[in-house]
């Protein structure tokens, strides 16, 4: 199994050494160590770790809070705060960045393991709720939910229309609908069509107008399931 890559952003050498040993012993890969906001950002852009452990107070003008906001804004990488500060003010400020965890120093191996595994689990659940994973051979194609407009089946092939691309899979609609219809955003409107309800602009008795300007057929047998 591929090891998860973790980047450490911490400016206290003793803590870094302890943490690196713990992470490697727990089976994770330490893919970088940074002591400042600027250094961390450069490494994160080039390596793109699976998780970042961030000390709130860094040896730079910008803090771990600033780095967390940058990760949310432009990288969508989960992070856990490491800090000696557990006062109400620090915690309230940290909460605004929506961290995946908060580890108070001093910490032990179990503290670190529990926080990291919870963070990865939360990130997985979040990804599953925000994306559709479509079978394609031995792999899966990921499509963000807000990009998906509709799926159209022709024989053994299904075409997925998104806001910026078209994906054709050698799968019948029945096969892919078992995955897609688990998400309540999607509904079957015709024997050959599934649509994202958020992409519907208007409808009449026999057609649906979508946000991309296309009209797709509305089957009589499915019209009652739409709303």
Residues 6+ apart with CB under 8 A from 41: 67, 70
Report pLDDT for 81: 96
- Cα Rg, the chain, nearest whole Å: 23
123 and 30 in one domain? yes
Report pLDDT for 136: 64
User: How many other C-beta atoms are found inside a 10 Å radius of the C-beta of residue 158?
Assistant: 24
116 and 80 in one domain? yes
The overall average pLDDT reported for the chain is 87
146 and 205 in one domain? yes
Average pLDDT over residues 174-181: 70
Instruction: Write down which residue in 105, 130, 155 finishes a domain.
Output: 130
pLDDT of 116 strictly over 90: yes
Instruction: Write down which residue in 108, 130, 152 finishes a domain.
Output: 130
**Domain interval for residue 213:** 137-225
146 and 125 in one domain? no
SS3 content of the chain, % helix, strand, coil (to 5): 40, 35, 30
Structure tokens at 212: 């991309």
Tens-place pLDDT, residues 39-81: 999 999 999 999 999 999 988 899 999 999 999 988 889 999 9
Report pLDDT for 175: 74
pLDDT of 10 strictly over 60: yes
Decide the pairing of beta strands 200-203 and 193-196. unpaired
Q: What is the CATH number of the domain that holds 108?
A: 3.40.50.2300
186 and 120 in one domain? no
66 and 34 in one domain? yes
Report pLDDT for 67: 96
Tens-place pLDDT, residues 147-156: 889 999 888 8
111 and 16 in one domain? yes
103 and 157 in one domain? no
Model-level pTM? Answer: 0.65
Q: What is the CATH number of the domain that holds 157?
A: 2.40.50.1020
216 and 165 in one domain? yes
């Amino acid at each position: 199994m591929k090891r998860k890559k973790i980047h450490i952003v911490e400016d206290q050498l003793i803590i870094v050494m302890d943490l690196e040993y713990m992470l490697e012993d727990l089976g994770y890969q330490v893919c970088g160590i940074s002591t400042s906001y600027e250094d961390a950002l450069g490494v994160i852009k080039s390596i793109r770790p699976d998780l970042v452990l961030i000390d709130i107070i860094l040896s730079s003008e910008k803090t771990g809070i600033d780095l967390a906001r940058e990760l949310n804004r432009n990288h969508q990488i989960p992070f856990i705060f490491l800090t000696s500060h557990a006062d109400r003010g620090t915690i309230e400020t940290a909460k605004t960045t929506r961290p995946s965890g908060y580890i108070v120093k001093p910490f032990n191996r179990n503290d670190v393991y529990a926080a990291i595994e919870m963070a990865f689990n939360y990130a997985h659940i979040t990804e599953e709720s925000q994306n559709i994973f479509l079978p394609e051979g031995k792999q899966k194609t990921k499509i963000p939910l807000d990009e998906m407009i509709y799926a159209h089946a022709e024989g053994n092939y299904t075409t997925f229309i998104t806001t910026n691309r078209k994906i054709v899979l050698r799968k019948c609609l029945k096969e892919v609908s078992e995955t897609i219809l688990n998400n309540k955003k999607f509904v079957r409107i015709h024997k050959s069509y599934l649509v994202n309800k958020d992409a519907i602009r208007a409808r009449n008795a026999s057609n649906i107008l979508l946000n991309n300007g296309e009209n797709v057929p509305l089957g009589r047998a499915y019209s009652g399931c739409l709303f």
